[in-house]
Amino acid sequence: MEKHFVTFYSPGTFFAETDSKPIDSWDVEKAKKMARDILQRYNAKPYGFRFSTRSRKDSELDSKETKTSPMYFLGGKVETLAQVKKRNDPKDSILISNMEGNGYKRIITNCNSWKVTQPFEKDDVVLEWELPAK
């Protein structure tokens, strides 16, 4: 038995707020449409999503996650460590320290609702995304 899910990530206080929904397949366009209806605490909107597949055998009681996709970011700006340093902004000192200390080569900043900055991994994807008019 196998079932697919999409988990949406929105800015949270200490950690991302998440909302997982079943989905027929790893369909990026369908997930983008679903993201429009997600609203978390403090009116936070998703900055991205990730697909997962849960599977179990007939002899198993519970399913387990057997596949996950890279993160799909709903818009945002990707920057390298060199680009962040080049800005020469004292407000970036903690960001630079975190990037260096954790070996992050790139970050993405997204402002779909609240500003969020995350590591941008090798296989992650930035999707075209327009915020609805207010």
Residue 54 within a domain: yes
- Do 66 and 109 reside in the same domain of the chain? no
Number of domains the chain contains: 2
Does one domain contain both 66 and 94? Answer: no
Which structural domain range is residue 69 located in? Answer: 2-73
Q: Residue 114 pLDDT > 70, yes or no?
A: yes
Q: Are residues 63 and 96 in the same domain?
A: no
pLDDT in tens, 6-28: 999 999 988 999 999 999 999 99
Question: pLDDT tens digits for 24-49?
Answer: 999 999 999 999 999 998 889 999 99
Same domain? For 69 and 6 the reply is yes
Domain boundary among 28, 50, 73: 73
Same-domain check for residues 35 and 53: yes
Is residue 44 domain-shared with residue 95, that is, in the same domain? no
User: Which of 55-59, 64-68, 106-110 has the least mean pLDDT?
Assistant: 55-59
Check whether residue 29 and residue 17 sit in a common domain. yes
Same domain, 59 and 112: no
Residue 82 lies in a domain: yes
HEC sequence for the chain: CEEEEEEEEECCCCCCEEEEEEECCCCHHHHHHHHCCCCCHHHCCCCEEEEEEEECCCCCCCCEEEEECCCEEECCEEEEHHHHHHCCCHHHHHHHHHHHHHCCCEEEEECCCCCEEEECCCCCEEECCCCCCC
> What pLDDT band is residue 1 in, cutting at 50, 70 and 90?
confident
Shared domain for 80 and 63, answered yes or no, is: no
The reply to whether 63 and 39 lie within a common domain is yes
